[in-house]
A and B are shown apart, each in its own frame.
Chain A
């Protein structure tokens, strides 16, 4: 049989095209039908875009200020209250505004959508005076009704905009306001629209951090018209009053926001566009920063920080200390139910060497669960300094002079408070071996890790906590209050005296009084040592030198309204 030579040439070509042909399955068909329509429709506008793309590094139209902010993971939802994820609030912070807001680099309160507020003496009535003349991105007016609608939506699973049937859960609302409508602990009893721009919250019991909650990005106000328009797709179509409005979201890739021209503050925002880009790999993100493809990178390895500082064209930033990394003890399990054992382990761990070795200097050793900048931080508490001899004495007192075996659960993921959990667990293992405690390291995946530690399967475990509203309650009650055993209290620590102090602090609206309660609680906690607190870390991040007026916020979500680019 005669074979045509051209067939062989075609063969090589065919290989190349095989896969292209495979993709025909539906995709190519729909493509070819849309092709012709789209080509005509978009020709004009896209031509100009084509010219821009040649000036690749600068991008955008000439003189446009486009900032690319790169981070490790994508947002979960752009409906901020339906998630607890920090990457989500980082973006929604730009789109939606809250009644109050935090100062640019601390948790001090500032006016937000409410320019003024009043609190009744009994701490049960909060009246907010709202800004007038503010519009949402969809053009509708911002007013007291809008605020009421948003809060009712979070509180009431039956509300028409609650979208409970679509698996929307507002867990942060439940955590911060004592549950949902009808729950015993729910503090918001009534929301009254007093005037178009005046709204009153009536509480069933005082809540010491109510105002702090009002500034949390989770409680950003969405346009009620948008709930109507988008329904359960509101998490992909956020409409707020913020400096930037939402343009598009390609999942696991980028979220694009553009300047809101009618923003309530004159002259802001300064940027024309912000792109939140996902670059999962830390090293790749740093390369993208060095090559000028991105402007800001979050999640720098502490080890890279020193290099950045001396590098021309790059700037190093730190976020204020707002977390704690700790080794927790399951206080219900032997031998950790004995306070001497817990104290002994505390003395045996060389916290300073952990801070030095793993955080490249961007961490301080911790003696309280609360970071030092917080109201009510107790500096009088004496740290458990590294002292193996004292540890051995305490172990002997507890009846373990011959040593013991114990499990340490190590976190499978890196967190700002624990950038290298594996090494931390090895250091702890070595430290404890010196005092005769044999540590077996247990590894679990992240989701089962969280779940099983909640159920108390662990003996010792590693974890941390980051603050979101700048209030001590968020740290101390969440982690150590008896009522949170089985939810966020994984040490199963229960001390009635501590619980009472935390409750009193929660119910008081006098901040000095609250501080005193928290100080007292910390002293008791330190004595009981349900945890070995290791460090408070200062997360580092980097930008190019072109980025101006950028101030990282301790909560990890900062407004980019004031930021601009040089040139």
Chain B
């Protein structure tokens, strides 16, 4: 196991080099000149030229790439062209915000999705199965922005139960420590605030978690059905085990492996693709950070943002692979 982990970690090196090459290339294929954007609609040609020079945009691509990688190795993600701040200092709050949202969205997706899938398989062809799968179909095809706006309309505007935007009460902000707000409020022992922060998480988590929830529910159901029809389950039943035990003790363990893969992939997707949810709920996450940077042709931020997202994606895949082994000892590496 240890050797496997080491091997996987070593394999990260070529993957990371590949990622830097890809992000660097993509970024330089985007049309539009950052100097022009920074200087605005009124810029003169001479001013644009000067700025390009001071930003190093006139160097040949291989030279620019070389500088980029050298800096990266020293932990320097570059300086944002827009805010003129170091990206390594600036990026953490965005990552934390997206992570917090993703965690809660996935908790929602997994708890509801896995259980709905199990019950659907258990009560195959029942009204519950029918409704749950219909719901999952709708969930998979629901446009996120529409769901998000409906949530805001009903729960924020009409009922006034939940806040419509942001991570906490903006009139009374908290001093942040880790930038995981739930964690920070607990560190401050400020439980009233924890409740406020959790309230802010509800609507965006549901909006973001609905698609993965539906996918997980369908995956769990089909995987469970397959396992339930296998010989060893028949044996367990024959031994007289109760239904609940059969399902949660014996069947789920084998059924969960493909579900785990889906969960890993979906988590990665959410981390990088939460832009819509982040925009509508005004959630200052990494998706929006990169999106704004693209609008602004902020090359260093685009590169670093994509690189960080890709890195997290790779790490999640690694964790999923390790979990396989933990759940199913038959898997050997």
Inter-chain contact A51/B33, CB cutoff 8 Å: no
Inter-chain contact B190/A47, CB cutoff 8 Å: yes
In the A-B complex, list the 3 residue pairs whose CB atoms are closest, starting with the nearest. Answer: A59-B171, A447-B32, A31-B178
13 A-B pairs (CB sep. < 8 Å): A15-B263, A20-B103, A35-B177, A38-B188, A53-B169, A53-B190, A251-B93, A277-B166, A293-B170, A446-B295, A447-B296, A486-B45, A487-B44
Q: Mark A163-189, 1 if CB is under 8 A from B, else 0.
A: 011111101101100000000000000
Q: How large, as a class, is the contact surface on chain B? A: 35 or more
| A270, B84: Cα distance in complex, Å | 33
A84 at interface by CB-CB < 8 Å: yes
Q: 8 Å CB contacts to A: which residues of B96-135?
A: 96, 99, 102-103, 106-107, 110-111, 114
A253 at interface by CB-CB < 8 Å: yes
Q: Mark A428-461, 1 if CB is under 8 A from B, else 0.
A: 0000000000000000011110110010000000
Inter-chain contact B192/A50, CB cutoff 8 Å: yes
Inter-chain contact B169/A59, CB cutoff 8 Å: yes
Inter-chain contact B42/A15, CB cutoff 8 Å: no
A120 at interface by CB-CB < 8 Å: no
Inter-chain contact B172/A53, CB cutoff 8 Å: yes
Name the residue of chain B whose CB is nearest to the CB of A468.
B42
Inter-chain contact A236/B85, CB cutoff 8 Å: yes
Measured between beta carbons, the chain B residues less than 8 angstroms from A288 are 156, 164-165
Q: Mark B179-191, 1 if CB is under 8 A from A, else 0.
A: 0100100011111
A168, A253, A447: which contacts B84 (Cβ < 8 A)? A168
Inter-chain contact A16/B110, CB cutoff 8 Å: yes
Q: 8 Å CB contacts to B: which residues of A239-296?
A: 248, 250-254, 256, 273, 275, 277-281, 283-285, 287-288, 290-291, 293
Inter-chain contact A284/B193, CB cutoff 8 Å: no
Measured between beta carbons, the chain A residues less than 8 angstroms from B176 are 250
Inter-chain contact A487/B45, CB cutoff 8 Å: yes
Measured between beta carbons, the chain B residues less than 8 angstroms from A252 are 94, 284, 288-289, 292
| A337, B280: Cα distance in complex, Å | 45
A34 at interface by CB-CB < 8 Å: yes
Q: 8 Å CB contacts to A: which residues of B126-152?
A: 148-149, 152
Measured between beta carbons, the chain B residues less than 8 angstroms from A52 are 172
The stretch that binds A, out of B3-11, B60-68, B227-235, B247-255, is B247-255
A372 at interface by CB-CB < 8 Å: no
Inter-chain contact B54/A167, CB cutoff 8 Å: yes
Inter-chain contact A275/B32, CB cutoff 8 Å: no
A19 at interface by CB-CB < 8 Å: yes
A207 at interface by CB-CB < 8 Å: no
A43 at interface by CB-CB < 8 Å: yes
Name the residue of chain A whose CB is nearest to the CB of B97.
A253
The stretch that binds B, out of A5-13, A219-227, A353-361, A385-393, is A5-13
The answer to whether residues A284 and B149 also contact, given A256-B173, A454-B36 and a CB cut-off of 8 A, is yes
Name the residue of chain B whose CB is nearest to the CB of A165.
B54
**Which of A5, A46, A68, A253 has most B Cβ within 10 Å?**
A253
Measured between beta carbons, the chain B residues less than 8 angstroms from A9 are 248
Inter-chain contact A51/B192, CB cutoff 8 Å: yes
| A303, B314: Cα distance in complex, Å | 46
A47, A56, A172: which contacts B169 (Cβ < 8 A)? A56
Measured between beta carbons, the chain A residues less than 8 angstroms from B218 are none
Inter-chain contact B36/A77, CB cutoff 8 Å: no
A76 at interface by CB-CB < 8 Å: yes
Residues on B close to A: CB < 8 A?
Answer: 31-33, 36-45, 47, 50-51, 54-55, 79, 81-85, 90, 92-94, 96, 99, 102-103, 106-107, 110-111, 114, 148-149, 152-153, 156-157, 160, 163-167, 169-178, 180, 183, 187-193, 196, 245, 248-249, 252-253, 256, 263, 267, 279-282, 284, 288-289, 292, 295-297, 312, 315-316, 319, 323, 327
| A284, B263: Cα distance in complex, Å | 29
Inter-chain contact A450/B84, CB cutoff 8 Å: no
B33, B173, B253: which contacts A254 (Cβ < 8 A)? B173
B322 to chain A, nearest CB (A): 10
Inter-chain contact B165/A22, CB cutoff 8 Å: no
The answer to whether residues A450 and B41 also contact, given A16-B107, A23-B103, A49-B172 and a CB cut-off of 8 A, is yes
Measured between beta carbons, the chain B residues less than 8 angstroms from A42 are 175, 188
Name the residue of chain A whose CB is nearest to the CB of B216.
A15
A235 at interface by CB-CB < 8 Å: yes
Measured between beta carbons, the chain A residues less than 8 angstroms from B191 are 50
Inter-chain contact A46/B190, CB cutoff 8 Å: yes
Name the residue of chain A whose CB is nearest to the CB of B99.
A23
Measured between beta carbons, the chain A residues less than 8 angstroms from B83 are 76-77, 235-236, 251
A5, A39, A50, A84: which contacts B193 (Cβ < 8 A)? A50
| A18, B32: Cα distance in complex, Å | 41
A135 at interface by CB-CB < 8 Å: no
Measured between beta carbons, the chain A residues less than 8 angstroms from B39 are 84, 169, 171
| A28, B245: Cα distance in complex, Å | 36
Measured between beta carbons, the chain B residues less than 8 angstroms from A277 are 165-166, 170, 282
Measured between beta carbons, the chain B residues less than 8 angstroms from A494 are none
| A260, B227: Cα distance in complex, Å | 68
Inter-chain contact B110/A77, CB cutoff 8 Å: no
A310 at interface by CB-CB < 8 Å: no
B34 to chain A, nearest CB (A): 8
Inter-chain contact A19/B82, CB cutoff 8 Å: no
A66 at interface by CB-CB < 8 Å: yes
A3 at interface by CB-CB < 8 Å: yes
Q: 8 Å CB contacts to B: which residues of A14-41?
A: 14-16, 18-23, 25, 27-28, 30-31, 34-35, 38-39
